[in-house]
Structure 1
């Protein structure tokens, strides 16, 4: 199964989803990219993933352009901006899904509050992508 996860910046939500899918089953080919890739990972996303034992620090923030000509079983958008841009994706895609999440990078307030927002979104991503994995991937193996 070859899966591409899209977000706008490819620094946070798509990276967490990428990390979770690979942790569920390392035989999956999972990639993530951004419609306007930032070129770097959000360090708070790396931190909250590490807290639960998933290391995404080696991931790269890549432009969607790298993947336009590939064949995909699933292309999944995780934020509104990427979902709106998704129709411009010209790759060969068997299934398109949108599973949206708030951007914890937008959180304002104390360090504790910001950290709690990253944890909240991380946990929502984990739940949604575990459900996706169990219903769309695992049952079709």
Structure 2
């Protein structure tokens, strides 16, 4: 049986200016949100959409956290993307405050469940916290 790594550290993210917001109802909303996000990233380089270091990884990170929230959390799920001074902040909130993010460790990739590890690998920071609004899982990406 595969072990799990410790849950992501419970802490607040850095301050960020919110740019984009989605509320996916279920997994069928994800292709539309990915398309919209890719369109917004194509506008990069403007003041409202600064450049992303790796757009494909960025979209993958958003998709992984959204799909985890929809599969393992409780609705409603809220997705917010913002900018810090020098990075991007991605936050996904769901209602499963009793289930902190727990990346898979030493699992056969064929069994799935590797998304949090992939996201954390490219993240500058990651964490989570609970509030009255729910469980907020966040990553800072370059």
Normalized per residue, the structure richer in strand is: 2
Taking CA–CA contacts closer than 8 Å with sequence separation of 6 or more, which of the two structures ends up with the larger relative contact order?
2
Normalized per residue, the structure richer in helix is: 1
- Scaled by the length of structure 1, the TM-score of the pair is 0.29
- Scaled by the length of structure 2, the TM-score of the pair is 0.29
